[in-house]
C-alpha cells in the first residue's frame, strides 16, 4: 500500500549496506558445506602428503566445484527485484496475506531456489517465502500469512534475498532495502447500539433517517401500517392511490464517542506495574471505542470521536470505517493534555 520513504530505524543497518555501492553479499556455510569443505581439506592434505597425483585431480575437481558454486549463486542473486504487496487493511487478530513478488530481470537465465525474508523493524525475521524457480523475464508471487497482535504502524524495512543454489553448500544472501508501511487497526468486536434517537424506523438499514422535522422530504406510496396522519390527501386524490409525506430528519446530530488517552503514568520509566495496568486498560477502552465507531458507521450514523488529548476526528459512512480505525491505530497515549486548539489529524 502506501510506501512512504521510511528511514530504517537502525542507522547501523544503513552503514552496513554501504550506501551507493553494490550491497555486500553475506556468505554462510551450511552443514553439507562443512562436510564438503572438510573432505576437500582432507583430500588436499592427503595429496600434499602422499604426492598421489590422482588426489590432486580430485582436489582440483572439488575446488572447481566450490568456485562454480560461488559463481552460480552470484548469478542467481543478480538481476532480481523484489516487491512487497501489503494488503489494503490489517487488523489485530485477523490474519492477512503479504504478497512477495520476485521479478527476474535476466534475459536468459532463471534463478532457482530463492528464499526471500521480509525484515520488519523491531520484529524477529521469521517470515520467509520460497521460490523454486523464477524464469527469465518473468515474475513469481508467493505470500506469507501473518496475524498481527499489536495495533499501530508496522514498518517493513527490507528484504533479505538468499539462495543456497547451486549445491546447497553455501548460502549467499543480500539485503535489498524496500521500505513499506502497514497500519494495523485495533481489533473490533460487535456491540449492541442504543436505538437511534427520535427516529421512525426507515425502510432499511441503508436509508437515512427520516425524522419528525417539518422539512418535507418527499412522497412515497402508502404501505399498510404507516401512520395515516402523514397521508398527503390532495396528491393521493390526484394520483389515485394513497401517498405519504416524508419528513427529513432533524439535523441529525453526530454520535459522540469519548476516549481518554491522557495519563501522567505514561511518563514514568519502564518497568512500572501501574503504568502497565493503565496501558492495558487504555487498549481495552480503545478497542471499545473502535467497535462502537464501526457499528455506528455500519448503521449509517455520522460520529465524532474525541480524545482527552484534544484531538478529534469525524466519521462519515461515505468515507467508511477506515479513517477512524486508522486514527485509532496510530493513537498513542500522552502524559499531558495538549494545550493548543484541537487539531484534526490527517
Partner 1 sequence: MKFGLTHRVLTSALAALGVLAIVLSGALPRASTILLLLGLAFALAATEKFQQSATARYAAAIIPSVLLGVEFLRLIGGANLLDLAVEFAAALQIVRLATRRGAMHDQQVILLALLHLVAGTVLGGGIAYGLCLVGFLILAPGALVLSHLRREVEGNYRQGARDRTGLPVDVPRILRSRRVIGPGFLALTCLLSLPIIVFTAMLFILFPRVGLQMLLLQSNKSGRLIGFSDRIDLQQVGKLREDPTVVLRFRPARVDGPLEPKKILRLRGSALDEYQGGGQWSRSTNERIPLQRFGGDIALVRPADPAKDTLLKIELEPFDPTVIFLPPRAVALRWTNANELGAHRPPPLVRGPEATYRYEAMPDRVLRYEVWIAPPSEPFEDTMTEASRERYLQLPKAFPQRIRDLALAWTAGATTDDEKARRIVKRLESEYHYSLETESGKSPNPIDHFLFESKEGHCEFFSTAMVLMLRSVGIPSRNVTGYVGGTLNRFSGFYAVRQGDAHSWVEAWTDRSVAGEGASKLHRGSWITFDPTPAAGAQPLADRGGFFTLLREAFEAISQNWDNYVVNYDLQKQITVFEKLRRAIDRAKKSNPAPGPTSTGISPRKKKLAAGTAAGVVVLAAGYYLWRKRRTAEALDAGTAGKVKQQRIATELWLSLEEALQARGATRPRNVPPVRFTEQLVAARRDALAEEAYVLACRYALARFGGVPFTPEEQRDFARRVSVIRRGEDKVAA
Partner 2 sequence: MQALRPLPAPLPVLVRLRENIESALEGKPEVIELALVALLAGGHLLIEDVPGVGKTTLARALAKTLGGDMNRVQFTSDLLPADIVGVSVLDPARQQFTLRQGPIFTNVLLADEINRASPRTQSALLEAMNEGQVSIDGKTMHLPEPFFVIATQNPHDFAGTFPLPESQLDRFMLRIRIGYPTGQTEARLLSRAVLDTVQDVEPTLDPAQLVALQRQVKRIEIEQSILDYIIAIGQATRSTPSIALGLSTRGVVALGMAARARAFLRGRNYVLVEDVLDLAVAVIAHRIRIAAYAEGFTVGRDEAEVTIRELVARIPLPL
Contact residues: partner 2, CB under 8 A: 88-89, 91, 94, 139, 188, 190, 206-210, 217-221, 235, 239, 243, 246, 248-249, 294-295, 297-298, 300, 317-323
Q: Is 150 exposed, middle or buried (0-12, 13-18, 19+ CB in 10 A)?
A: exposed
Task: Specify the residue for cell string 560461488.
Answer: 70
**Residue 87 near partner 1 by CB under 8 A:** no
Closest distance of CB 220 from partner 1, Å: 46
Under rule CB under 8 A, which residues in 150-179 are in contact with partner 1? 164-168
Beta bridge partners, 312, equal 306
Short-list 152, 187, 145, 164, CA closest to 294: 187
Provide, rounded to whole angstroms, the least separation between the CB of residue 188 and partner 2: 7
Which of 62-70, 148-156, 213-221, 240-248 is the region at the interface with partner 1 (rule: CB under 8 A)? Answer: 62-70
164 makes contact, choosing from partner 2, partner 1, none, with CB < 5 to 8 Å by partner type, with partner 1
Judged by CB, which is closer to partner 1: 134, or 155? 134
Q: Which stretch binds partner 1 (CB under 8 A): 12-20, 35-43, 232-240, 303-311?
A: 35-43
6, 144, 291, 299: residue in contact with partner 1 (rule CB under 8 A): 144
Q: How many residues bind partner 1 (CB under 8 A)?
A: 44
Backbone φ/ψ region at 156: left (φ over 0), alpha (ψ -120 to 50), beta:
beta
- x/- contact string, 117-136, with partner 1 (CB under 8 A)? -----------xxx-xx---
Binding at 70: pick from partner 2, partner 1, none (beta carbon under 5-8 Å per type): none
DSSP lists the bridge partners of residue 84 as 100
Contact partners, residue 39, CB within 8 Å, separation at least 6? 62
Other beta carbons within 10 angstroms of residue 88's beta carbon come to 8
The H-assigned helical ranges of 115-229 are: none
CB closer to partner 2, 8 vs 202: 202
Largest separation between any pair of C-alpha atoms in the chain = 119
319 binds, among partner 1, partner 2, none (CB under 5 to 8 A by kind): partner 2
Per DSSP, 266 falls in state G
- CA gap 337, 309 in Å, rounded: 5
Q: How far apart are CA 86 and CA 97, in angstroms?
A: 8
Binding of partner 1 by 29 (CB under 8 A): no
Among 142, 217, 219, 265, binds partner 1 (CB under 8 A): 142
Question: What does DSSP assign to residue 196?
Answer: P
At closest approach, how far in Å is the CB of 345 from partner 1? Answer: 32
- The minimum distance between CB 8 and partner 1, in angstroms, equals 25
Under the criterion CB under 8 A, does residue 239 sit at the interface with partner 1?
no
Q: Which is nearer to partner 1, 167 or 222 (CB)?
A: 167
Beta-carbon contacts of residue 215 (< 8 Å; ≥ 6 apart)? 247, 248
Among 1, 75, 143, 338, interactor with partner 1 by CB under 8 A = 143
Helix (H) or strand (E) holding 15, with range, is helix 11-17
CA distances, 87 to each of 127, 129, 130, 145, 287 (Å) = 16, 16, 20, 11, 21
User: What is the CB neighbour count within 10 angstroms for residue 295?
Assistant: 19
When asked if residue 237 is in the footprint of partner 1 (CB under 8 A), the reply is no
Please report, as ranges, the residues that interact with partner 1 according to CB under 8 A.
32, 35, 39, 43, 46, 48-61, 63-65, 67-68, 97, 99, 112-113, 115, 128-130, 132-133, 141-145, 164-168
Amino acid at each position: 500500500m502506501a510506501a512512504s520513504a521510511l528511514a530504517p530505524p537502525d542507522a547501523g543497518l544503513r552503514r552496513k549496506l554501504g550506501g551507493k555501492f553494490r550491497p555486500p553479499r553475506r556468505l554462510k556455510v551450511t552443514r553439507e558445506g562443512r562436510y564438503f569443505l572438510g573432505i576437500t581439506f582432507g583430500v588436499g592434505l592427503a595429496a600434499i602428503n602422499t604426492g598421489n597425483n590422482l588426489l590432486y585431480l580430485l582436489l582440483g575437481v572439488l575446488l572447481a566445484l566450490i568456485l562454480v558454486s560461488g559463481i552460480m549463486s552470484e548469478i542467481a542473486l543478480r538481476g532480481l527485484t523484489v516487491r512487497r504487496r501489503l494488503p489494503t487493511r490489517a487488523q489485530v487478530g485477523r490474519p492477512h496475506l503479504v504478497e512477495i513478488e520476485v521479478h527476474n530481470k535476466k534475459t536468459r537465465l532463471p534463478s532457482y531456489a530463492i528464499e526471500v525474508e521480509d525484515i520488519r523493524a523491531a520484529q524477529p525475521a521469521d517470515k520467509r517465502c520460497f521460490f523454486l524457480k523464477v524464469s527469465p523475464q518473468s515474475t513469481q508471487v508467493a505470500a506469507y500469512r501473518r496475524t498481527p497482535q499489536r495495533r499501530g504502524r508496522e514498518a517493513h524495512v527490507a528484504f533479505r534475498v538468499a539462495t543456497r543454489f547451486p549445491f546447497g553448500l553455501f548460502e549467499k544472501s543480500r539485503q535489498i532495502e524496500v521500505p513499506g508501511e502497514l497500519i494495523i487497526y485495533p481489533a473490533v468486536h460487535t456491540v449492541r447500539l442504543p436505538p437511534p434517537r427520535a427516529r421512525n424506523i426507515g425502510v432499511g438499514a441503508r436509508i437515512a433517517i427520516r425524522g419528525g422535522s417539518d422539512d418535507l422530504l418527499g412522497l412515497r406510496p402508502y404501505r399498510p401500517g404507516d401512520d395515516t396522519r402523514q397521508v398527503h390527501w390532495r396528491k393521493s386524490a390526484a394520483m389515485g392511490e394513497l401517498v405519504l409525506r416524508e419528513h427529513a430528519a432533524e439535523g441529525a446530530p453526530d454520535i459522540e464517542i469519548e476516549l481518554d488517552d491522557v495519563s501522567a503514568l505514561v511518563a514514568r520509566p519502564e518497568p512500572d506495574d501501574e503504568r502497565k495496568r493503565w496501558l492495558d486498560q487504555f487498549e481495552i477502552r480503545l478497542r471499545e471505542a473502535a467497535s462502537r465507531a464501526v457499528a455506528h458507521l455500519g448503521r449509517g450514523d455520522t460520529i465524532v470521536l474525541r480524545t482527552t488529548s484534544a484531538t478529534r476526528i469525524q466519521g462519515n459512512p461515505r468515507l467508511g470505517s477506515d479513517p477512524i480505525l486508522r486514527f485509532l491505530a496510530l493513537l498513542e497515549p500522552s502524559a499531558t493534555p495538549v494545550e493548543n486548539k484541537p487539531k484534526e489529524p490527517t
